[in-house]
Each structure stands twice: as structure tokens, then as C-alpha cells.
A and B are shown apart, each in its own frame.
Chain A
Amino acid sequence: MNELILNLKEFNFLPKEKISFDVSWQLDNIPKKIEVRLFWYTKGKGTEDSCVAETCIVDHLSDRGNKSVYFTLPESPYSFSGKLISLNWAIEFVVKSPDKCIRKEIVISPIKIPIKLY
């Protein structure tokens, strides 16, 4: 059984805030890659864009383990929601072979909620 856990307690942050959380995994075999990515992506009418801001790579691959992850959130772009597009930040815990992924959405903005454009 393949299981990933991303232990994030808070989901709303200010730009440049330092965050830390734990991840743990239990897999049927030793994977090829284990990474935790902080990234933003767009949703809405326009074709999806995305960009990874930070990545934490697990060096010593094993079929089970845990790791503390530390990210410094960037200054921008803010999470926002408009009539046409919205921008969301998220943290993805990604394992390759076996392919598994768990994602938690977060908000980065000066008011700790997505900026509304309407």
C-alpha cells in the first residue's frame, strides 16, 4: 500500500513568511524520486500556467521515512481570484515510481486571503 502524508497545519500565509512542516511516506518499493514542491498555478479561462518556486529533494531514497521541510515563501505573485483567472499556491509532495502525489493548497497574500479582483 502506498501512502503519503503532508502534515501542514496552517494554510494562509503572508509573503516572505517562513514555514515548516513534516512529510512522511510508506511505499511498496523504493521510489526513483521524492520531492516536495512549492509552486503556483493559474486556473480559469486562460491556458494553465505554473511555476515551481522552491523544491525540497529527499536525498536518501527509501520505501518509508519522514522529513521536515522548510520553505521561505516568495514575495509574489499573490494568490488572487478574478473573473477570468485565478492564481493558486500549493505544496505538492511527489513520488515517482510508484507515481503518487498529495497536494495541499495554500494562500500567499498580504491579507492572508486571495485578492479578489471583482
Chain B
Amino acid sequence: MRIIGKIFLTLFLLVFFSMGATFCVFLGKTIYKRAVCYSWQKSDCLIESVSVIENAEKHGDTPYKIDLKYSYNHNGIQHQSDKVMIDSRNQYSYSDAVMISSKYKVGNIYNCFVDPHYPDRAILEKQSIWHIFFMLIPLIFLAIGAGGIYGVWFIGEKTEEKRVISDSAVSSKNAGNGVFVIFLIIGISIMIFGFIRPIVGIIDAKLNWQAVECDILSSDIKTNSSSDGTTYAIDILYSYVFNGQEYVSNKYDFMGGSSSGYSSKRKVIEQYPQNSKRICFVNPRNPRIAVLNRGISLLIFILGVFGFVFAVVGFGGIRHFNKDNSIKTSYDPVRNQRKSALRGFNQKNFISRKGPVILTSKLTPMKNFIGILIFTLIWNGIMFFISFVDSGNIFKALISFPIVIFATIGFLLFVPVVYCFLALFNPRAKIEINSTDFILGDKICLKWKFDGNTSNISRLDIFLEAIESATYRRGTDTYTSTEIFYKKSLIETINSFEIKAGSCEILIPENTMHTFVSSNNKVLWFIKLKGQVKNWPDINQEYQVNVGPRKF
């Protein structure tokens, strides 16, 4: 590999490495901080004061903190602390803050845990460290990056003579497998935590939570400014009575969080003015939890789609690489010989038929049209949504695409959509041939007949074509190049009678290459029909045929 190639590959792998290292460090620090607390000494502590107060700095939908003070004795010395957990920013929603603080009563004695090395440090609750298992994900990134860089620079490249080429056919592990496993894990995680769990919670809320009248105590929008920009969160504080007890909550919906888009949140606030009475929905199993809006937010669907796409990419990639790895010949234990494995043509995707056969094409004008239409709608839908979320106004959205280039591409995509739509109205030819299963040297006998009006077809070409196809990867992108090595015309005509219907024959040459299909390299044979139509999309029909080797 050339030095420039090595440098580019190293830079690419460094991205994996640094992502993995960053997450490992952050996650590792958190887990270490929590794990260390398990060695701290238990002590009795006296709760001196506890309350829930609003944060001086506004923090989206977690603007409350627990103000808790307790004292304890360690080795004869009196200490004070205000920490509940070691790893907590002390930012909560109102109901969460009340839930935690209500566990501790002033004047009561509870267990606390004291750092034996620094007795001034103590906590009331130890936190779990089960999410140490999530370290696997950044560790995989780290391994791919580090292992790849090591391989690029330190593992000597074998010359062609020293390399055992057949080893890759006998058994091969592909690093790509690992990458797609990551995609699959991430996709499934997003789908479970970002989509399925919230949906299950929402369905439960719709079926079981009870509608209760509530008093709106305050109604405002919290602003969160950072280097990435300003985001806004709905902050509505309300009180309600459930089973004779009063509760306070500030949860608007299930997702919470803050995002850009001020005007949509302003509209919500206007529906819940201070000192008004509204309906909230209370969880009867835990009345501290309530929401004003138990609907499904668009964010949940977006997370579901993202998770699904990641999972599909991961699953497809794993299937692809394992399918390649599973190409093994079968063993015949007698005489230490393997059964000959005639690989190179994948019969699974090709149904060979003898006798007169009406050819069918995998890609029809309708499938082309639907495919390009779906892609165009998804592309433009995403662009519109991004703009709409940002501006909060449908009219502004139409004229204020924030990403001009992508929006322009989306607009231009309508051109092939229209082209494919017009092509739907072209007449289609029915093609009958003597077989779909030929060998080199065979004769192809072909008949065609157009349904519909052919008066606009000015020229008809039917030809036999063979191509080589090579698929290769550069970085994360896959490319396929094709080269035509054989093309022979069966019929070229401008005669309207001949265009409407006819028949012809052609001999497949003997000393050329038969159909060959492997994972990345192919030799394919086609019968193609092309009809030129005046002032209209042309007719293009393509049919793959199997041309086998000569019989010996």
C-alpha cells in the first residue's frame, strides 16, 4: 500500500479510535466514581434540613434541585455534607426532586457512606454501575481504530507469492462484520429506548392514567444558551389533587427536553396561562407522575426511524459478510477429497426455464417510478421538516429552507419523477424466447409484440449484450464499474410493421465467457430492447439471461 493510502486510512481509523477513546474516558470516569463509593464506610447521619428549590441557572425541563443537609460522625470528628449521590448534577424535574427528597425526613437518622481517605466527603445513596456493559460499544470502536492502525503500519504486507490466497476462500473473518454489529446494537438500542419504551408508556397512559383537574401555578419558556446555539423548553408548573393528596409537577409530556423552535412552544404556553384550570393525566400507580399532554411527539417517530435504519443497515451488513464467509465446499471424508463445488453462478436468484418463455424484467417502469417517487418524497419531507421545526411556521418553512443546496437537490429530483411518470404510458413489448438457459454456442430465437399504440416509436433496437461488473470499496463507500465486452444487434428497424411485432435469431459466440457471479465480480448476459419515441421518454426493457459453459 502506498504511503498516502496508509496516511488516509490512518486518519480514517483515528476517527474510530478517538470516538471510542472519548466515550471510554467519559463512561469510565463515571463508572469509576460510582464504583469507588462501594468501598466507602457506612455511618449514621442526621438529616438537618431538606427542601426542593428552583435553580438559579435555568436548566431546560430540570430546573429544580434538592437542598439537603446532614451531619455525621467519623472517627470522633463531626462532619457535614449535602450530597445525595456522588454522580449527580442535582438538576431534576419538580416531581423527581420531590420523589427523592421525600425519602428523607428532618431529624431522622439514615445510613450514609463516608470516604475513608477524605471524611469530609459522604453520600446518602450509592449508584448502580450496571451500565459498565455499555463500555463494550466504545471499546469496539477503540479496537477497530487501534487494531487497524497497527495493521496498516506494523503488519508487513505479504507479497503475492507469500500470500495464501485460498485461505480467504476457506475461512474469512471480515472486520466489516464488527462495524455492522455496532450499527445493529445502536439501532436496536435507539428503537427500544427512544421508540418502543416511550410508546408503551404512552399507550399505558392513554389506557390507564386518570384525567384530573389541575391548577396552573406558572407557565413559561426556559432558555438554554450554549456554544451550539439557544434551545427552549416548556416549563409549566401545576398542582393537582389525587386520592385526597396534593401533588405538584412540571412535566408537560413524556419526552421533555429542550430544542430550537420558540414559536411552537409559545403556542403551548398560551394554552396554559398562569392561574388557569386545565386537565392533567395522573399515573394511578405513582400519583407523583403526571403529564399535561400524553400524545405521541414527532421526536419519538424520528428516533424510531433512525433506530430502524441503523438496525437494518447493521443486519444487512452482517448477513452480507456472513453469507460470503459461509461459502465453503462440502467435505467427502472418503479419500480426503472435497466434493467439487461449482461456484461462480448463483442459482438462487435466477430461475432457469426451458421451452418458449415470456421474459419478465426485474425493473419495470412502474417500479422505477415508485422507487424514485418514494426517494424524492423522503428527501423533500426531511428538508421540509427540518425547516418547519426551525421556523415553526408552514409558510415560513416553504420560503426559508435552511440548507439551500440539499433543498435544491430535492427540487431537481422531481425531474426524474416526471420522466418516469411519463414513461408509464409507453407501450410495452412482450418478448418470448426459446429458453432462459443457454450455453455458449446456442441459438437464441426471439419473438416480440407490442401492446398498445406503436405509431410514435420511430426506431426499435433489440440486442444481446454481455458485461463485466466489478464492485470495490474506497473507505466507507462502495462503487460498481461495468464494461461491455460483447454487443450484437438482433434487430434494428424503423419500419412500423416490423416495430409492432416480429421475430429474429442470434448465435451466442462459443469462445467467450459464460455467466459468472461472485460477491464482487460478475459476468452477465442481457437481452435489451430500446424503442426511440418522439418527444417522449424512450422505451427501455432489459432481461437477464443465463449463458452457461459449453458441455464437455
Q: Are A90 and B165 in contact, CB atoms less than 8 angstroms apart?
A: yes
Complex alpha-carbon distance, A94 and B162, angstroms: 11
Question: Smallest CB–CB gap between B223 and chain A, Å?
Answer: 52
Stretch from B108-116, B429-437, B493-501, B514-522 that touches the partner: B514-522
Q: Are B470 and A44 in contact, CB atoms less than 8 angstroms apart?
A: yes
Complex alpha-carbon distance, A15 and B440, angstroms: 14
Q: Are B327 and A85 in contact, CB atoms less than 8 angstroms apart?
A: no
Size class of the contact patch on chain A: 35 or more
Contact residues of B between 504 and 552, Cβ < 8 Å to A: 510-514, 516, 518-521, 523, 548-552
| B337: Cβ under 8 A from any A Cβ | yes
| B200: Cβ under 8 A from any A Cβ | no
Q: Which residues of B contact A75 (CB under 8 A)?
A: 342, 549, 551-552
Q: Are B518 and A84 in contact, CB atoms less than 8 angstroms apart?
A: no
| A39: Cβ under 8 A from any B Cβ | yes
Question: Smallest CB–CB gap between B20 and chain A, Å?
Answer: 26
Chain B contact surface mostly: loop
Contact residues of A between 50 and 80, Cβ < 8 Å to B: 50-59, 72, 74-78, 80
| A49: Cβ under 8 A from any B Cβ | yes
CB-based nearest B residue for A52: B169
Q: Are A53 and B483 in contact, CB atoms less than 8 angstroms apart?
A: no
Q: Which residues of B contact A48 (CB under 8 A)?
A: 165, 168, 520
Q: Which residues of B contact A83 (CB under 8 A)?
A: 468, 483, 485
Given known contacts A47-B472, A117-B513, is B169 in contact with A74 (CB within 8 Å)?
no
CB-based nearest B residue for A99: B164
Q: Are B337 and A56 in contact, CB atoms less than 8 angstroms apart?
A: yes
| A98: Cβ under 8 A from any B Cβ | no
| B207: Cβ under 8 A from any A Cβ | no
**Contact with A84, one of B167, B336, B481, B512 (Cβ below 8 angstroms):** B481
Contact residues of B between 335 and 359, Cβ < 8 Å to A: 336-338, 340-345
Q: Are B166 and A52 in contact, CB atoms less than 8 angstroms apart?
A: yes
Contact residues of A between 91 and 118, Cβ < 8 Å to B: 92, 94, 99, 101, 103, 110-111, 115, 117-118
| B297: Cβ under 8 A from any A Cβ | no
Q: Which residues of B contact A85 (CB under 8 A)?
A: 468, 470, 521
| B471: Cβ under 8 A from any A Cβ | yes
Q: Are A80 and B513 in contact, CB atoms less than 8 angstroms apart?
A: yes
**Contact with A46, one of B163, B166, B329, B470 (Cβ below 8 angstroms):** B470
Q: Which residues of A contact B329 (CB under 8 A)?
A: 51-55
Q: Are B337 and A42 in contact, CB atoms less than 8 angstroms apart?
A: no
CB-based nearest A residue for B169: A50
Complex alpha-carbon distance, A99 and B521, angstroms: 29
Q: Are B518 and A42 in contact, CB atoms less than 8 angstroms apart?
A: yes
- Identify which of B327, B341, B473, B523 gathers the most chain A CB atoms within 10 Å of its CB: B523
Q: Which residues of A contact B161 (CB under 8 A)?
A: 103
Q: Which residues of A contact B551 (CB under 8 A)?
A: 75
Q: Which residues of B contact A115 (CB under 8 A)?
A: 511-513
Q: Which residues of B contact A117 (CB under 8 A)?
A: 468, 483, 485-486, 512-513, 523
Q: Which residues of A contact B342 (CB under 8 A)?
A: 53, 74-76
Interface 0/1 of B152-178, CB less than 8 Å to A: 000000000111111111100000000
Q: Are B338 and A52 in contact, CB atoms less than 8 angstroms apart?
A: yes
Q: Which residues of A contact B548 (CB under 8 A)?
A: 76
Q: Which residues of A contact B469 (CB under 8 A)?
A: 46, 84
Q: Which residues of B contact A46 (CB under 8 A)?
A: 469-472, 481, 520-521
CB-based nearest B residue for A117: B485
Q: Are B485 and A53 in contact, CB atoms less than 8 angstroms apart?
A: no
Given known contacts A48-B168, A50-B166, A53-B341, is B511 in contact with A84 (CB within 8 Å)?
no
Q: Which residues of B contact A57 (CB under 8 A)?
A: 336
Question: Smallest CB–CB gap between B340 and chain A, Å?
Answer: 5
Q: Are A77 and B514 in contact, CB atoms less than 8 angstroms apart?
A: yes
Given known contacts A46-B521, A76-B548, A78-B514, is B343 in contact with A51 (CB within 8 Å)?
yes
Contact residues of A between 1 and 23, Cβ < 8 Å to B: 14-16
Complex alpha-carbon distance, A48 and B164, angstroms: 13
CB-based nearest A residue for B473: A47
Complex alpha-carbon distance, A75 and B470, angstroms: 23
Chain B interface (Cβ < 8 Å from any Cβ of A) = 161-170, 327, 329, 336-338, 340-345, 468-473, 481-483, 485-486, 510-514, 516, 518-521, 523, 548-552
Given contacts A47-B473, A51-B329, A110-B549, 18 further A-B contacts (CB under 8 A): A39-B165, A46-B469, A47-B519, A48-B520, A49-B519, A49-B521, A51-B169, A52-B166, A52-B169, A53-B338, A53-B343, A54-B337, A54-B338, A74-B342, A76-B548, A77-B344, A80-B513, A83-B483
Closest 10 CB pairs of A and B: A46-B470, A117-B485, A49-B518, A50-B169, A77-B344, A76-B549, A47-B520, A45-B470, A51-B343, A46-B521
| 18 A–B pairs (Cβ distance < 8 Å), ordered by A | A15-B552, A41-B165, A41-B169, A42-B521, A46-B471, A50-B168, A51-B169, A51-B344, A52-B170, A77-B516, A77-B549, A84-B470, A92-B166, A94-B166, A94-B167, A111-B511, A117-B468, A117-B512
